[in-house]
């Protein structure tokens, strides 16, 4: 287990928790567009750190899959995801262990989860156990020590996060997954969408900060499990 206990929600402010899905939607679309084939009818998917389930809902509505599981340590977020899933073939569970599901997946995803995990090697081993040979894990990560905004963001996120945050470099992440038996690839997220500009944002004091972050700092890792 990565965390000794479960939590209610990721964000201490429930309103911010609710707004997270809408803010992340353009990023989820980009993750889907650059990392998946169109036909997922025979594929199984894992969402690690699913929050309120928005990613898997979006994915299924665009590319219907065979089945999926979303896991998270936030109890209330998982309950909300279950409530919103509708007809989609998705299960949501409160856990931080993908291996504990006792099954393997074709694809796995996470969005800004890795910086919340203290033990990268343990997470890499856990994800290896949850993927079939040749299966891929795509992880979006902008919260890392190589990001120009991280020194400021670290302080801001710590004020609202329900759990501790960690300082990982892109090299740290790459090394952990390489040693766990993955081939490691990376690319900029390079968001191809308009992002709302909020003048005076604590996270992006200047518009150029936002442009730089979404074109360079925020990356997508792809970890492919070797046999």
Q: Measured between alpha carbons, how far is residue 24 from residues 84, 100, 105, 135 in Å?
A: 17, 27, 24, 24
- Percent of the chain with pLDDT strictly greater than 70: 91
Between β-strands 131-141 and 90-94, what pairing exists: parallel, antiparallel or unpaired?
A: unpaired
Tens-digit pLDDT profile for residues 128-159: 999 999 999 999 999 999 999 999 999 999 99
> Is the pLDDT at 3 greater than 70, yes or no?
no
Model pLDDT, residue 2: 40
Number of domains, the chain: 1
CATH code for the domain in which residue 209 is found: 3.40.50.150
Residue 9: inside a domain? no
Residue 5 lies in a domain: no
In a domain, 37, yes or no: yes
For residues 197-210, average pLDDT: 92
State the DSSP string of 58-75. Answer: HHHHHS-EEEEEEEESBH
- Chain segment 107-134, per-residue pLDDT in tens: 999 999 999 999 999 999 999 999 999 9
C-alpha distances in angstroms, 11 versus 34, 74, 213, 215? 28, 10, 22, 26
Cα distances (angstroms) measured from residue 216 to each of 146, 161, 163, 211: 10, 24, 27, 8
Domain, as residue range, for 61? 14-225
Tokens of 1: 């287990």
Question: 99 to each of 27, 31, 35, 130, how far by Cα in Å?
Answer: 26, 23, 23, 5
Q: What is the residue-averaged pLDDT of the chain?
A: 92
| Reported confidence tier of residue 11, pLDDT bands at 50, 70, 90 | low
Tell me the CA end-to-end span of the chain in Å, nearest whole number.
Answer: 24
Structural domain contains residue 1: no
- At 4 the pLDDT is 40
**Is the separation of the CB atoms in 195 and 204 below 8 Å?**
no
130 closest CA partner among 213, 202, 44: 44
pLDDT digits (tens, 9 = 90+) for 38-51: 899 999 999 999 99
The answer, yes or no, to whether residue 14 has pLDDT greater than 60, is no
Answer whether residue 81 is part of any domain. yes
Is residue 149 domain-resident?
Answer: yes
């Amino acid at each position: 287990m990565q965390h000794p206990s479960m939590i209610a929600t990721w964000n201490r402010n429930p309103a911010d928790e609710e707004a997270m899905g809408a803010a992340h939607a353009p990023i989820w679309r980009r993750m889907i567009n650059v990392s998946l084939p169109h036909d997922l009818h025979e594929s199984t998917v894992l969402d690690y750190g699913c929050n309120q389930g928005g990613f898997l809902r979006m994915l299924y509505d665009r590319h219907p899959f065979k089945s999926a599981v979303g896991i998270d340590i936030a109890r209330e977020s998982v309950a909300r995801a279950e409530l919103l899933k509708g007809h989609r073939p998705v299960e949501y569970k409160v856990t931080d262990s993908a291996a504990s599901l006792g099954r393997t997946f074709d694809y796995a995803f996470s969005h800004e989860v890795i910086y919340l995990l203290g033990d990268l090697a343990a997470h890499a081993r856990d994800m290896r156990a949850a993927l079939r040979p040749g299966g891929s894990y795509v992880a979006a990560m902008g919260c890392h020590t190589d990001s120009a905004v991280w020194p400021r963001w670290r302080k801001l996120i710590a004020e609202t996060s329900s759990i501790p945050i960690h300082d990982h470099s892109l090299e740290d992440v790459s090394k952990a997954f390489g040693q766990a038996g993955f081939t490691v690839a990376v690319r900029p997220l390079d968001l191809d969408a308009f992002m709302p500009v909020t003048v005076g944002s604590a996270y992006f004091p200047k518009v150029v900060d936002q442009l730089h972050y979404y074109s360079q700092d925020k990356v997508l890792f792809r970890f492919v499990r070797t046999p």
